[in-house]
Amino acid sequence: MDVIQTLYRLLEPLTHVPVNIWLPLMFVTAPVLVFLGKPTTDWRVLAGRLLLAWALTYGFAILAIEAYVRHAWDAYYACQSQFPDGGVQQNEACWDVLPSGGAGGIIFKLLGWWPALGYVTIYELAWRIWHKNRMLKIKASYRRVSTFLMIIGWLAILALLTIYGIFFFLILSGA
């Protein structure tokens, strides 16, 4: 059992809510953590809050996918249980609620840090614009860490847009 599944099992009481609570947490965590930092704070704390926002955004996204898959399987089993065979064979009535193979979840576990980093980068840019007058007083160490994270984040956003563009081009061209 990997770390994500262990974390999901520990937080399982929260997963029985009919709404996927991990998705709103993912969207709220990054802006709250990024904008909690003040320019007068130590540069290590400022850099740590960026890394924590990145890790939590990635973790909540994975938990949201796990909850979505779990709810889909629960709906499938509920559909199967209404038939007298007890789910021994797949009934055509339940094919519309049958969850997909799961390759997307595996790919997101491997590459999901890209969109998470891009999401945090957008808020870090907003934070830097908000505090642009005080950015000169912040230590150069934090500016280097923040700029490095911003460059990687914007490259991740550019790569994602390119991948999505190619994907939609292939879909629209009928390939």
Q: Tens digits of per-residue pLDDT, 75-105?
A: 777 777 776 665 555 666 666 666 666 666 6
DSSP collapsed to 3 states, the chain: CCHHHHHHHHCHHHHCCCCCCHHHHHHHHHHHHHHHCCCCCCHHHHHHHHHHHHHHHHHHHHHHHHHHHHHHHHHHHHHHCCCCCCCCCCCHHHHHHCCCCCHHHHHHHHHCHHHHHHHHHHHHHHHHHHCCCCHHHCCHHHHHHHHHHHHHHHHHHHHHHHHHHHHHHHHHHCC
Tell me the pLDDT tens digit for each residue of 101-121: 666 667 777 777 888 888 898
Mean local confidence (pLDDT), 8-19: 64
Mean pLDDT, rounded, for 57-64 = 88
pLDDT score for 83: 67
User: What pLDDT, in 10s, does the model give residues 141-166?
Assistant: 777 777 888 888 888 888 878 887 88
pLDDT of residue 28: 92
The predicted structure's pLDDT at residue 38 = 83
Residue range 50-54: average pLDDT? 90
Task: Write down the mean pLDDT value for the chain.
Answer: 77
pLDDT of residue 32: 93
